[in-house]
Amino acid sequence: MKLMKWALVKGLKIFIKYRDRFLRKKYALQLKIQELSQGGHVTFGSNLQMNQPTIFQGKGDLYLNNGVILGYSIGGAPSLPILLQPREIYAQIIIGKESIIANGTEIIAREKVVLGEKCRIGARCIILDSDFHGLRPQERNTSGKVAKVIIGDNVWLGMGVMVLKGVVIGDDAVIGAGCVVTKSVPAGAIAVGNPMKIVGSVYDD
């Protein structure tokens, strides 16, 4: 009986291992197919891990540097894909080395969104570098203001964070779940809420 149980556990571990490998290759192939159909460009670094379906849209450039992880199998929003959309022909989305982007995250760039190295982006985060529509009633059919978003190294965005145009987030900063980031955040700051407020620093004792 013990031998049978051991064999079943061993067999299940092998199945999961090869299933995960197959899914990662499938998701990477889907991304390349989307690249061809959209007219944009995707650059993969080494050791890319794709654990979640990822949608590429747009005519711009997407850079996934070494060791990037897309999706987390036991994280929040397990049924939601990741959306990476460098919309315009000169738009860029750059994901730094060893950064982790959780399920359901959307990053949309009309100019540029940069995510530093070793960042952790929680499920259902949204990062935008544009308003996409003009503010005044007569301007609603215009494309609105655009300003690049720069997120430093080792930044942690909790679940459901929204980062809006023109924001710069310094290295090591932590943004609490559900926070709407409309202005820049210093390195190491802890920011929470809507409206956002800074409540501390990760560098404090």
Tens digits of residue pLDDT in 75-134: 888 889 999 999 999 999 999 999 999 999 999 999 999 999 999 999 999 999 999 887
Cβ neighbours for 31, distance < 8 A, ≥ 6 positions apart: 42, 50, 54, 56
Phi/psi for 32 (5° steps) reads -65, -35
Q: How large is the average pLDDT for residues 140-165?
A: 93
Which one is catalytic: 10, 19, 26, 133?
133
CA nearest to 99, candidates 80, 78, 126, 122? 122
Distance CA 73, CA 62 (A): 23
Query: Which CATH number covers residue 72?
Result: 2.160.10.10
Q: Which residues constitute the domain of residue 84?
A: 2-201
Query: How far is C-alpha 76 from the geometric centre of its chain's CA atoms?
Result: 14
Reported pTM: 0.87
**Total domain count, the chain:** 1
Distance CA 75, CA 52 (A): 11
- At 154-191, the pLDDT tens digits run 999 999 999 999 999 999 999 999 999 999 999 999 99
* pLDDT the model gives residue 2: 59
Is 133 catalytic? The answer is yes
- At 23-39, the pLDDT tens digits run 666 677 677 777 777 78
